[in-house]
Amino acid sequence: MRDYKLGEVTLNYDNQRVPLSEKERKKIPGVYRYYGAQEVVDYIDKYIFDGEYILVAEDGNNLISKKKPLCTLVTGKFWVNNHAHIIKANEKADTKYLYYLLNKINVKGYITGSAQPKLNQENLNKIKLKLPEKSIQEEIANKIFFLDKKIALNFKQLEKLDEYLYLLYYKWFIDFNFPNVHGKAYKEHGGELKEIEGKKLPPGWTISNLSSLGEIVSGGTPSRANQDYFDSNGIAWITPKDLAISRYKYIKKGETSITELGLKNSSANLLPKGTILMSSRAPIGYLAIAKNDVTTNQGFKSIVPKDSIGTEFVYYTLKRLGTKIENIGTGSTFKEVSKEMLSRLSVILPTTDVLNQFQVTTNPLSKKIQLLEDETDFIIESRELLIKKLIL
């Protein structure tokens, strides 16, 4: 291992950055990514860079909070504004290896400003590194990058599976093309529709309210003053923040857990596996399905679905009603949806046989999503262990 400063092993392309205002970008919409400090902020029809580069955030609160990675590895054609440094390795280093290393080392000592944190180019170049021979860097980086590609592929598959289930829900319960007795699309093959409360529905279907789908349950927070109420290995306790940072449909735990004592001495409720968790404030509308027994804080109105209704039907009903639910929120400091408001929301209630058929149809796909999420979690953990072992 040899000691270097980042500027000694990289090429810097900051002088090629060109910031574009939102007004300017609207004039040239396209397919090329336009990057800000941390991520893609737009798509335009031009690009400046083509290849493999590291984007390092130059400014922003994330330099202090570290809620997102410091660096982004970017390949292909793209544009960068002046909120991210753009670098790549020179002949002494491997670009991917530097990307993994920079996202793990502490750069706090190189950041200036508190109100407006900044990592200027001079300090960026001063960041101290320990690097093995370039061939070893490449070997290590390729192992980790293989896992990154698998993780990205899994997330794409998860997205596609969820999209398919939502389209299936829409086909069955909005377009009324659920399978008829002959296995054909009901409405497309002449299925009868009757007018019920101003809507044309299949026979036996009704207009009901959201509370008819299951029990709506609120959450709570044990007193922070009592340490006996919290335990890192206790009962899963979910907050809206946990849903905000999760890319999964299912959730089994949050950043914090509570004890049996904390549950007993608070308004939190133990929710069974299959409950649909919906954030009811700050913000409204985040959704997840409980993978096991969980509790939530008071920022939720969760629905424990009736057995005859099923988890997937309730989940996608809430997803479809997302905008309407957000619009009925009230409050001055932040909007919130009450249990009473949700209870009164109008929903279509299909017949039990159609709902049962939907559960039977969707269950294998739901299980596949859960297995794929588990696999992705395992790969992410393996990736982190590999970085810790081989790079840090």
- The pLDDT assigned to 334 comes to 84
Of the candidates 281, 271, 337, the one whose C-alpha atom is nearest the C-alpha of residue 304 is 271
More confident residue, 60 or 250: 250
**CB atoms near residue 377 (< 10 Å):** 14
Instruction: Assign 3-class secondary structure to 293-329.
Output: CEEECCCEEEEEECCCCCHHHHHHHHHHCHHHHHHCC
Interatomic CA distance for residues 392 and 390, integer angstroms: 6
CA distances from 57 to 103, 224, 251, 289, 385 (A): 11, 35, 30, 34, 25
Q: Which range, of 18-32, 118-132, 251-265, 324-338, averages the lowest pLDDT?
A: 324-338
The half-sphere exposure of 104 on its side-chain side, counting CA atoms within 13 A, is: 18
Q: Is 34 left (phi over 0), alpha (psi -120 to 50) or beta?
A: beta
pLDDT of 68 > 90? The answer is no
- The pLDDT assigned to 282 comes to 82
Supply the mean pLDDT for the chain.
95
- The pLDDT assigned to 82 comes to 93
pLDDT of 197 > 90? The answer is no
- The pLDDT assigned to 20 comes to 95
pLDDT of 309 > 80? The answer is yes
The amino acid occupying position 263 is L
Three-state DSSP at 96 gives helix
Tokens 């969980």 found at: 294
Interatomic CA distance for residues 11 and 126, integer angstroms: 13
CA dihedral 168, 170, 176, 178 (to 10 degrees): 10
Three-state DSSP at 255 gives coil
pLDDT of 114 > 80? The answer is no
Give kind and range of the element (H or E) at residue 155.
helix 134-173
- The pLDDT assigned to 115 comes to 80
CA distances from 280 to 181, 208, 267, 327 (A): 40, 21, 16, 12
Q: Are 288 and 251 in contact (CB under 8 A)?
A: yes
pLDDT of 184 > 90? The answer is yes
Interatomic CA distance for residues 23 and 19, integer angstroms: 12
Chain centroid to Cα 207, Å, comes to 33
- What confidence category does residue 270 fall into, taking pLDDT thresholds of 50, 70 and 90? very high
Q: Are 40 and 25 in contact (CB under 8 A)?
A: no
pLDDT of 387 > 90? The answer is yes
Residue 167 backbone phi and psi in degrees, to 5: -65, -35
Q: Which tokens sit at 257?
A: 């857990």
- The pLDDT assigned to 303 comes to 98
Share above pLDDT 90 across residues of the chain, in percent, rounded to a whole number: 92
pLDDT in tens, 71-89: 999 999 999 999 999 999 9
pLDDT in tens, 38-56: 899 999 999 999 999 999 9
Average pLDDT value for residue range 288-305: 97
- The pLDDT assigned to 302 comes to 97
Interatomic CA distance for residues 122 and 128, integer angstroms: 13
Asked if the peptide bond before residue 283 counts as cis, ω within 30 degrees of 0, the response is yes
Angle at 293 between CA 292 and CA 296, to 5 degrees: 115
Average pLDDT value for residue range 209-228: 96
- The pLDDT assigned to 353 comes to 96
The amino acid occupying position 199 is K
Beta strands per DSSP E along the chain:
2-5, 10-12, 29-35, 40-44, 49-57, 71-80, 84-89, 128-131, 194-196, 199-201, 206-209, 214-218, 230-238, 250-251, 256-258, 276-280, 284-290, 295-296, 301-305, 346-349
